[in-house]
Structure 1
Amino acid sequence: MSSAAKDSPSSSKLDTPLFNAFVPGRYMFEFGGSDADTDGKKVLDLLKGKFNQDADFSLDRIFDHEFIKGATFQIDQKKNHDSVYENIVKAVSDSGLVSKVYPVRLIERPKTFSSSSSSSDGATDLSRLIPHAQTQVDRVHKELKNTGKGITVGIIDSGIDYMHPALGGGFGEGYKVRYGRDLAGDEYDGAGQFGSTTPKPDDDPLDNCPPSFSGPGGHGTHVAGIIAGKADNFTGVAPDSTLGMWRIFGCNSLGSGEDLITQALLEAYDAGVDIISMSVGGLSGWNETSTARVAAHITAQGVPVVISAGNSGDLGVFTMSDGPLGEGVFGVASFDNDYKYVTTVKVGGSSASYGYSKTDDTIPNGQLVAGDKNAGSGSDACDASTVPKNVKGKLALVQSTHACPPNLQAGNLEKAGAIGIVFFGLNDMVIPPQTELANIPTVGIAQEAGQSLLAIIEKEVKVSLTFNIEKEFYRIPTGNTVSSFSSMGPSNELALSPAISGVGGYIISTLPQTIGSWGMMSGTSMAAPYVSGSIALYLKSLEGKKTTPAYVLEQFSNYAYKAPSDNTKDDVETPCRQGAGLVQVYDAIKQQVHVAPAAISFNDTANLLKTHTLTITNHGDSIASYELYNNVSVSIIPYAGNNDFQFTEPATFGTEAAKLKFSKKTIKLSPGKSVQVKVTVMPPKTNPAEHIMYSGYVQLTSGTKENKDITVPYVGIVGNQRDIPVFGQGTPILTNGTGPNVPVFGPNDTYVFDRSDVIQPIISAYLNVPAKEIKFPLFNDNGKEIGRAFSDANLYSRSYGGQPSISMKWNGTYLPTVFDIEFPLAVSLLPGEYHLGISVLKWLGNPDDEKDWETWASGPIQIK
């Protein structure tokens, strides 16, 4: 063994980062010139001329658009060493043709929860499952006779079964689905694991993937039905609107390249759609990704872009997808529906029953026992030794966990003789277990249901379960509040996000006919099209009058419904979860008093934007009067304490509140008049080291019956985000592997690196904070920086779920620095002693200020 692992003083659990993933070999080159086609060919010639022996090159995609000039290249290396890519990127950066070079991010396919499908659902009275009463869409349809006719919504998703009767039965001129194309092809997989990373586009966005494929599962068809589905027993939000579909996922796709998403945005805009709806996004939290930048450009040109916030609410704050963080973009959170249509399980000897989601119809009735000796521990049945013997012949109750995959849990319980498994979740969602490899049946129930059953079992009371196969209507306890899965803001730069909410929990809609025609899904993926359809109704109500996306967002925000944090509590949910609140479409259309901007961000107290100005305008024909007050929401306590600065997952809430001072406490507005009110914040006097996140709403309480109350959300943080240590969880570390119990080489341990060995040193780091810029300096034995071990990185998310954000394997090459100039090509190091480093720009730091960088260096690495 070439490295001194046996002498290592400690070990650590280390896994590959879950986020910040890229399409293998795909790079985006943005050009400074005006002719992307010419510049792309020049770069291709440069690459082939300099690096033909090292790699194969192909020009994959040209972006010659007013919003972006660039090209993506596929680079497949011939020589098996990491420095090939480093050399290419550096050479192209130095060519003068390119303004930016970055790997193409892999955007995971949309993940939804509580999905079920059945062709029989289409024959059921679904009126109680359609959430239009929660959003006033029912009033817009009935009282205003507005169904969105003449408005076109472009969707970017997994394709569409346009042959579905509720979606028009065809594609092209004269049909509901009139625009779009397939940018991916059935065999495309951006990850390269279950298909080709090379797209095969065509002009048909049809999703007719076989049911056996594990791809997006009819996601795009479901989204389309929410917006514009129309059947005898089903009505979408804007049922007479026109649709376009740009398909970006293959049938078995793990994800899509961000270049395809950028292309789809540009094509939808060029097609002349009125609204773009996208339920796709990467988890970086920065507004500088290509998706966020292009979406912002499109919005600035007058086309609202609506993007889902993401489904990472269980991971706490700062979990927004990056797309909805683009300036002016509608970032959409999710509320739960009031009702769902579910199968239920009855508990013997009591009146209790719970909704459950099944993976098949074979789950037997029987006695339920705990499936782990310490059930609910966070690692139930991950180890066969913790499975009790009494599960044999019985149903086993275990909690879903991030500690191991559900297939492993199922395998351990199956070996112990369990006849079925009841998984209870990590939140209030009823989620079908992902146990496709299990040989025994499995079902999922909500966290609260599982905890209740576990409490009975722990009292040594026999619990018998009877599973009902027939579905029934079930009132959801969390109805009309924020869905537990909905991602939380603010943005990494502390802008208030999400912007607004739609209904996305337990939504019935269309599915491809190959997988049942109708089904229920949950996710912000469902909330975004709900808002898109709502905007279609609003634009239709204008009857051709001009407006701007900013005005539309402000109007929806002004009159949104603000939910409590829980239906049993008399409080207000934080706008970091619900944004302005749930859309109220009738009020947004009919109310004539308007307040701008849509939201206020006070920043942290070290960079406090203390005073903001609201402009209130009366577009009506009668006098309007209001009294202003501070409607505080719950606060967020982001850290668990102990100065480890690890975000609580899920978030923890408190009652800390800011005070607001208004330049005018009451206002009276004549028709056609405007008034400005200054809002000044006095943050709560909490310990700055706790970084409490305070929030609420500026509320304008109406003094007249015809005018509704108006609100504007705000958020701020007590403390200086720059003070938070960059690294956490005992990292960075130097190691040589991934997985549990890897060796860790401390500052006094020498890592002996024989470059002929297949085992290479790895540096890994858990980031307490999101990182806008990361550098990887290499130091000699005297501690002098001599170059870079890897190319610089940027726009990294914070670490989630205990996983590191950075994990880099080093092959013993570097990019030398001579007189502060980086050498264009990576070279092999001479034998000797070196130290790998990681240098990260502090949160909200100034990259030109050395004090705003936090740097770590490894112990000595002896290269042979």
Structure 2
Amino acid sequence: MLVQRLLVALLGVAFGASTIISSDPDVQAAISATTIPGAYIVELADAIDSDAFIDHLAREDGVEQISPRLNFKSSMFRGLSFNIRSSINSTQETEARIAALAQVKQLWPIEIIRLQDANITVTGKGKSLPERRRQANPYSPYPPHVMTQVDRLHAEGFTGAGLRIGILDTGIDYTHPALGGCLGPGCLVTHGADLIGDNFDGSSPPVTDSDPFDGCHGHGTHVAGIIAAKANDMVPGGAAPDVTLGAYRVIACNGLSSTDIMIAGLLKAYEDGSDIITGSIGDPSGWSEHPFAVAVSRIVAAGVPCTFAAGNEAGANYGLFSPAAPSSGDRVMGISSFDDAETVSSFTSWGPTFDLAMKPQFGAPGRNILSTYPVNLGSYAIASGTSMATPLVASVVALISQVRGTINPMELERVLSTTARPANRMSTEGVSAPGPVVQQGAGMVQAFDAAYASTTFNVPNLSFNDTSHFESEQTFKITNSGNKTVNYTFSHRAALSATTLVSGIYRSSEPDLFASHAILSFDPPTLEVKAGSRATVKVFAQQPIGLDAAVLPIYSGWILIDGESSDGSSALSLPYIGAATSMRNHTVMASDRMSLSRTDSPVNDIVPENAIFQLPAPAIHPEWVVPVEPESGLVIAPYAMPDQFLWLVMGSAEVHLELVPISANKSLAAAKDNGYGEKTLGNIAGYPQVYRKPIGWMQSFDGQLASGEWAPPGGYKFAAFALKLFGTRGRADNYERYDSPEFEIRYVAQAEE
């Protein structure tokens, strides 16, 4: 929902004690994620039993207590989550030891997820203006259903019967009379699970049961009504009223969740046989490789269509390249929101992904949507967001699946994309033109057209890439599955181009929009395709003229396909995107704004050059212990650690934070060339990190390296390396570099408890 921001870093990739910081105070207040101390998700090697792994881990040196949280026994992912208490010296060392076990494929810390209260209007027994109008004329169709052609499929008797939609959310108030009033066989909500419990506080283990009741939050109940509510004098019927629902409660009453709970809900929805999975949850990411996105992509590849909200972050320090994960995943349907006036909602998060994959895919009405709400919270409410558009698209997927007789995710994405209707926006220059594809996607879904499309394509969209990798000539295949010969004519409809950057290297939260666009031509410009035949079309593109490459402009538009046959004519469109710049030329790391601080400073005071840190000595190196010195001059108070502020202004697929011994350090002899022209002791624990989004964070250092070894006492500096966009891993000239001030580390005896 709008104003809610759910930070989902499912299977988070960052180890170590890091605190997320945003340059925008509103974002900092709205989004918060905290790693749960001693809580982990592990993916197990093949044939390893979860119970056997827990038993083995419990016998490891230093492990005092281990408590299982959730068990993952899906064909998509095998593993478990657990809490561990140990006497091992540090979090980093604990993680390093677990990750090194032969039974472990991958290990991730678990993050707390906070879902803020929604900005919703509870209508209760009253009636909204649209509803009073509807009751004055009971035969007036519901506008969002008209705009998406859902009403036309309803008129033909298609209601989603026989299909199961799994909803990842806060659960459903299945006692609601408009939602069937019951749970189980014969009910609207036939199945589901509570993966979290009522009293989850972030640190406590989830309490699971088979009852997904939502009586305290409302988000999931609102989503369910959009899909399948039974019409009454308060609420219009759902878009797919005869589907059955699976409710997977992954968010507690207080808006809290965690990454292991999210993955458990996703996997259970899949294993329960959901035909379609939908979720109005996400984390501004920009990466198709985000772990949650990858997990959902696996399920799509297994044949289950998945619709996830693009996000509501436009204007909140998240400009272009901010589609929420998992909507950012490959072949995951990312959903945008449209207003009643059929313009894209201003809050819809912008794509594309950092590898220039088109996001979002398409959208539906999502502003001021009336739907069901928990009975004890008022029964009905109006809410806005891509959260509301997403279940409507999931319903459309069900309807066209019923018509076409397939739930093949690729086929459904293609027909929805090429039949969607683009919406207009006003440019910065005051010109009304189609809005950028990278915010609205292909346009608003048209259920009837998609259901009966007899002309189909082998791709849902095209990407011309950037100027350094410009794919100026591309092809697509067109299939006429009808029973008449069709003559096709190809033309071009350009969208407004959008800028990414402002003030040099920093992203704009409000992109400027310009009418400059690419030039397209086609070979052949017209084409006759007989019934049941396929043909290939070549597309030739020329880069836009007049766009400033320094602001990383993204251009887009649609290839229009007009088909004429003896049965009439039809119009389809194939969306495309491209970057009028070289992605690799753009700065990813704000080195001039990065600094070295200390962990005991509440305001991140910058430490002087050659500051001396007195760190708790690792238990395995008592010989390093020296007497504690009081703070004075360059000497930092004991037990305060170096705290490095890192800031990415664009995403980076790989970030290193390596420890460099300075010339007087005895460790210099042990340093090795890191491949980027520097001799280092390697990454500190928790690095390298992969697929980081643009954000700032503090990274503390307790002396442990990624190898599990400890840095000896001496003088050092940090060297951060961030892979450029479209960069090649391992090539020194493809990384940006930052060097911290030099500092010294000493080890002192552990503080007495």
* TM-score normalized with structure 1 length: 0.73
| Structure 2 residue aligned with 1:158 | 170
Q: 1:108 to 1:651 in 2, by over 3 A?
A: farther
Map 1:440-451 onto structure 2 (within 5 A). none
**Which residue among 19, 27, 45 is the counterpart of 2:40?**
27
Deviation of 1:266 after TM superposition, in Å, equals 1.7
Q: 1:122 to 1:635 in 2, by over 3 A?
A: closer
Give the AA of the match of 2:53. Answer: K
| Structure 2 residue aligned with 1:71 | 80
Correspondence 1:241 to 2:243: yes
Asked if structure 2 preserves the Cα contact closer than 8 Å seen for 1:56 and 1:78, the reply is no
Map 1:118-517 onto structure 2 (within 5 A). 118-121=124-127, 124-125=131-132, 127=134, 130-142=143-155, 144-189=156-201, 192=202, 196-209=203-216, 217-233=217-233, 234-254=236-256, 256-314=257-315, 315-336=318-339, 338=340, 479-517=341-379
d(CA) in 1 for partners of 2:54, 2:519: 56
**Which residue among 764, 781, 795 is the counterpart of 2:662?**
781
d(CA) in 1 for partners of 2:532, 2:409: 21
Asked if structure 1 preserves the Cα contact closer than 8 Å seen for 2:289 and 2:691, the reply is no
Asked if structure 1 preserves the Cα contact closer than 8 Å seen for 2:74 and 2:271, the reply is no
**Which residue among 708, 729, 752 is the counterpart of 1:824?**
708
**Which residue among 582, 586, 592 is the counterpart of 1:720?**
582
d(CA) in 2 for partners of 1:759, 1:90: 22
| Structure 2 residue aligned with 1:96 | 102
Deviation of 1:745 after TM superposition, in Å, equals 4.2
Asked if structure 2 preserves the Cα contact closer than 8 Å seen for 1:688 and 1:718, the reply is yes
SS at the partner of 2:324? coil
Stretch deviating more after TM superposition (94-103 or 661-670)? 94-103
- CA displacement 1:392-441 (0-9 Å, x = unmatched): xxxxxxxxxxxxxxxxxxxxxxxxxxxxxxxxxxxxxxxxxxxxxxxxxx
SS at the partner of 1:505? coil
**Which residue among 85, 90, 99 is the counterpart of 1:84?**
90
d(CA) in 2 for partners of 1:786, 1:862: 15
Q: 1:664 to 1:738 in 2, by over 3 A?
A: farther
- CA displacement 1:635-682 (0-9 Å, x = unmatched): 0111124x3x10111222112211223221111222111111122322
d(CA) in 1 for partners of 2:460, 2:117: 29
d(CA) in 2 for partners of 1:667, 1:140: 31
d(CA) in 1 for partners of 2:446, 2:61: 59
Q: 1:739 to 1:651 in 2, by over 3 A?
A: farther
Asked if structure 2 preserves the Cα contact closer than 8 Å seen for 1:130 and 1:508, the reply is no
Q: 1:793 to 1:171 in 2, by over 3 A?
A: farther
Deviation of 1:231 after TM superposition, in Å, equals 2.5
d(CA) in 1 for partners of 2:391, 2:73: 29
Deviation of 1:125 after TM superposition, in Å, equals 3.4
SS at the partner of 2:594? strand
Correspondence 1:769 to 2:662: no
Correspondence 1:619 to 2:481: yes
Asked if structure 2 preserves the Cα contact closer than 8 Å seen for 1:109 and 1:280, the reply is no
Give the AA of the match of 1:667. Answer: L
Correspondence 1:49 to 2:60: yes
d(CA) in 2 for partners of 1:111, 1:679: 47
Asked if structure 2 preserves the Cα contact closer than 8 Å seen for 1:773 and 1:792, the reply is no
Give the AA of the match of 1:824. Answer: G
Q: 1:778 to 1:44 in 2, by over 3 A?
A: farther
SS at the partner of 1:509? strand
SS at the partner of 2:215? coil
| Structure 2 residue aligned with 1:62 | 71
Share of identical aligned residues, percent? 30
Give the AA of the match of 1:297. Answer: R
Q: 1:590 to 1:280 in 2, by over 3 A?
A: same
Q: 1:779 to 1:126 in 2, by over 3 A?
A: farther
| Structure 2 residue aligned with 1:661 | 521
d(CA) in 2 for partners of 1:694, 1:126: 41
d(CA) in 1 for partners of 2:721, 2:701: 16
- CA displacement 1:112-144 (0-9 Å, x = unmatched): 5454442323895373765211111122212x1
- CA displacement 1:537-556 (0-9 Å, x = unmatched): 112223xx345111111111
Q: 1:48 to 1:857 in 2, by over 3 A?
A: farther
**Which residue among 528, 546, 559 is the counterpart of 1:698?**
559
Asked if structure 1 preserves the Cα contact closer than 8 Å seen for 2:562 and 2:569, the reply is no
Deviation of 1:563 after TM superposition, in Å, equals 0.1
Map 1:609-648 onto structure 2 (within 5 A). 609-641=471-503, 643=504, 645-648=505-508
Asked if structure 2 preserves the Cα contact closer than 8 Å seen for 1:814 and 1:829, the reply is no
d(CA) in 2 for partners of 1:47, 1:773: 33
d(CA) in 2 for partners of 1:697, 1:14: 34
SS at the partner of 2:224? helix
d(CA) in 2 for partners of 1:77, 1:126: 64
Deviation of 1:828 after TM superposition, in Å, equals 6.0
Give the AA of the match of 2:606. Answer: V
More RCO (CA 8 Å, sep 6+): 1
- CA displacement 1:229-253 (0-9 Å, x = unmatched): 0122321111122111010011113
Give the AA of the match of 1:589. Answer: A
Deviation of 1:90 after TM superposition, in Å, equals 2.1
Deviation of 1:104 after TM superposition, in Å, equals 3.0
Segments of 5+ residues of structure 1 without an aligned counterpart are 1-11, 210-216, 339-478, 816-821
* TM-score normalized with structure 2 length: 0.84
Deviation of 1:796 after TM superposition, in Å, equals 4.6
d(CA) in 1 for partners of 2:591, 2:384: 33
CA RMSD of superposed structures (Å): 2.7
d(CA) in 1 for partners of 2:642, 2:133: 58
Asked if structure 1 preserves the Cα contact closer than 8 Å seen for 2:178 and 2:231, the reply is yes
SS at the partner of 2:223? helix
| Structure 2 residue aligned with 1:601 | 463
Deviation of 1:327 after TM superposition, in Å, equals 2.0
- CA displacement 1:822-841 (0-9 Å, x = unmatched): 6434x3642x3221232222
SS at the partner of 1:769? coil
d(CA) in 2 for partners of 1:794, 1:327: 21
d(CA) in 2 for partners of 1:659, 1:791: 46
- CA displacement 1:64-87 (0-9 Å, x = unmatched): 3221222223234557xxx62221
Asked if structure 1 preserves the Cα contact closer than 8 Å seen for 2:502 and 2:551, the reply is no
Give the AA of the match of 1:779. Answer: V
Asked if structure 1 preserves the Cα contact closer than 8 Å seen for 2:93 and 2:704, the reply is no
Asked if structure 1 preserves the Cα contact closer than 8 Å seen for 2:69 and 2:82, the reply is yes
Deviation of 1:278 after TM superposition, in Å, equals 0.8
Give aligned pairs, total: 672
d(CA) in 2 for partners of 1:709, 1:551: 18
Asked if structure 2 preserves the Cα contact closer than 8 Å seen for 1:110 and 1:280, the reply is no
- CA displacement 1:235-288 (0-9 Å, x = unmatched): 11111221110100111133x222222221221122222111111122222223
SS at the partner of 2:82? strand
d(CA) in 2 for partners of 1:577, 1:112: 23
Deviation of 1:524 after TM superposition, in Å, equals 0.7
Asked if structure 1 preserves the Cα contact closer than 8 Å seen for 2:303 and 2:408, the reply is yes
d(CA) in 2 for partners of 1:231, 1:622: 40
d(CA) in 2 for partners of 1:573, 1:168: 40
